[in-house]
């Protein structure tokens, strides 16, 4: 839509109000177009037709590619906690298997100072 000249995106509230005016108040498409400041009557016709097919879901569904990071904050926190616990466990196991690295690079002494 953004690439086409003259196309305007209307928020869900405008669409809902147009459909409500059509069904509940019996307004004509021309009256709705004038009341809501729409560019043409055809939009109202499309919204009413889509509403008949999909009901209220028409105004709440998201159009376009879904977000790649759809993971919720809570799920992400839980996943990171589990990962953190696993890494801590692996680190402690590696420390047990590795020889102590104290005094690495220091000369070995037998209790006397070597000069």
Q: Which pLDDT belongs to residue 10?
A: 85
Query: Measured between alpha carbons, how far is 38 from 22 in angstroms, rounded to an integer?
Result: 14
Q: Is the pLDDT of residue 103 over 80?
A: no
Between these two residues, 32 and 110, which has the higher pLDDT value? 32
Read off the tokens for 58: 């028409």
Those residues whose C-beta lies under 8 Å from the C-beta of residue 54, and which sit 6 or more positions away, are 61
Average pLDDT in the 99-111 region?
63
Q: Which pLDDT belongs to residue 62?
A: 64
Query: Measured between alpha carbons, how far is 10 from 114 in angstroms, rounded to an integer?
Result: 87
Q: Which pLDDT belongs to residue 56?
A: 75
**Mean pLDDT lowest for which of 49-53, 79-83, 110-114?**
110-114
């Amino acid at each position: 839509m953004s690439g086409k000249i003259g196309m305007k995106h209307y928020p869900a509230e405008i669409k809902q109000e147009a459909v409500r005016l059509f069904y509940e108040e019996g307004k004509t498409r021309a009256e709705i177009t004038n009341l809501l400041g729409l560019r043409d009557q055809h939009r109202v016709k499309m919204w009413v037709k889509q509403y008949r097919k999909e009901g209220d879901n028409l105004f709440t569904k998201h159009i376009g590619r879904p977000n790649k990071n759809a993971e919720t904050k809570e799920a992400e926190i839980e996943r990171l906690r589990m990962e953190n616990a696993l890494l801590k466990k692996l680190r402690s196991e590696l420390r047990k298997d590795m020889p102590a690295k104290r005094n690495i690079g220091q000369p070995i002494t037998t209790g006397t100072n070597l000069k």
